[in-house]
Chains A and B, each alone.
Chain A
Amino acid sequence: MSESKQHVIPFKTYALILAALLALTLITYHVALVDLGPWNIVVAIVIACTKAVLVVLFFMHAAYAPRRTRLVILAGVFWLLLLLGLTLADYLTRPPATDSISSNNAPAAYVR
């Protein structure tokens, strides 16, 4: 842990990350203007995750943190996916005959 305290990340790294984050924000906006069908939401989520990973690794120093810290982060992601995944396991398998939302089993995309 003390290692991470002593580790001073160069200004250039921070600036690069900032540029990347701003660029990704622009990209996500412009991609949203294009109709990709169900892929719009996928691209948006992937870009958001990329940005989040950049912030966590560099702004939050997780890249230089001890294993324990990374374990905590992974636990958070894992439990979040657990909450989403197991609940979706119900919603996505409700049979058409008894459920009014069944016909929306398609991916999260907005389908017109």
Chain B
Amino acid sequence: MNQSIPLFPERASSFAGGVDAFFIFLVLVALFFSVVVGVGILYFSFRHRRTASNPVGKIVAGSLSLEIAWMAVPFVIAMFMFAWGSKLYVEMRRPPSDALEIYVVGKQWMWKVQHPDGRREFDELHVPVNRDIKLTMISEDVIHDFFVPAFRVKMDVLPGRYTTLWFRATKTGRYHLFCSQYCGTEHSHMGGWVIVMEPSDYQAWLSGGSGSESLEQAGQALFTQLACVSCHGEGQGPGPRAPALRGVYGSKVKLSDGRTVLADEAYIRESILDPRAKIVMGYEPIMPTFQGVISEDQLLQLIAYVKSLGVPPAGAQRSVAGKE
């Protein structure tokens, strides 16, 4: 237990400084108004206290200019806060495109982490320092929340939908990882540590795994095992009954109803679990659903495999691509 109580958690990410500066500004504004009102109340109520010579208050008419002033000033300050806070938030919600992507699955009451090369870990997240990290997260059951106070980041982890969170750790060390959305009995124990390492240590740690296959390899194995190959094919061209998956990820897919959608993680996930939601133009809705057949971890592996099949040049539009 610390002797002195710290007022700020450790600053270990690129966001921490900005959030703390904003927070200090908010504290100062709050302090200023609290002092103005507090001193005003104390001063007036002492200065104009009830005495024999002051049995009743003076008549003071209202003041329109004062009313306008104390509406306008808070409004201006509030809008400034809004702008500053939004700037930070937009930054937090927009991950850089070249970030290292790590997959997180939350379940009652543990965190399962899969690194791109296949190394898996539980309730711990190892990341290299000074590198943008993007977490793609999903829950197997209820809503959880991935919260690392030292990074000043937090994002709910939802069932049925991917959310993302990104950060750049700036200091090596061990930092608390909390679940901060109430999720049941062991909610307070659903946490662990984020371990920030030097890049070389991270590489060593990655290779120290049990030599398991990478995410893509696992996904490829699943792709064969679930017989996706028989329709989608595995080569360059489209399969017998379904579009080829090469270069699908990140492309714009034309659907049979004329719409065009972006083939992102959510789209691929939906196409596996609910194949008939979006039918690729030129194909029949014949793919069976894999809902209940594969787990969220396996889904992430499949997505990693599809992603590994290549990304099209920017802006490319494919008329025959996607699922089925």
Contact = CB atoms under 8 A, between A and B. Distances in A.
Same assembly: yes
Nearest to B260: A103
Nearest to A102: B266
B29 to A, nearest CB: 27
Contact of A103 (B162, B267, B269): B267
A97 B269 CA distance: 12
Nearest to A103: B261
B251 to A, nearest CB: 13
Given A111-B257, A112-B257, A100 B262 contact: no
B257 A99 contact: no
A76 interface: no
Contacts of A103: 259, 261-262, 267, 278
Interface in B122-176: 160-164
A66 interface: no
B264 interface: yes
Classify chain B: how many residues form its interface, as a range. 10 to 19
Contacts, number: 32
B198 interface: no
Interface residues of A, number: 10
Contacts of A100: 160-162, 266-267, 269-270
A106 interface: yes
A96 B270 contact: no
A52 to B, nearest CB: 32
A39 B259 CA distance: 17
B257 A97 contact: no
Interface of A: 96-100, 102-103, 106, 111-112
> Which 7 interchain pairs have the tightest Cβ spacing?
A103-B261, A100-B266, A96-B262, A111-B257, A112-B257, A100-B270, A97-B264
Interface of B: 160-164, 256-259, 261-262, 264, 266-267, 269-270, 278
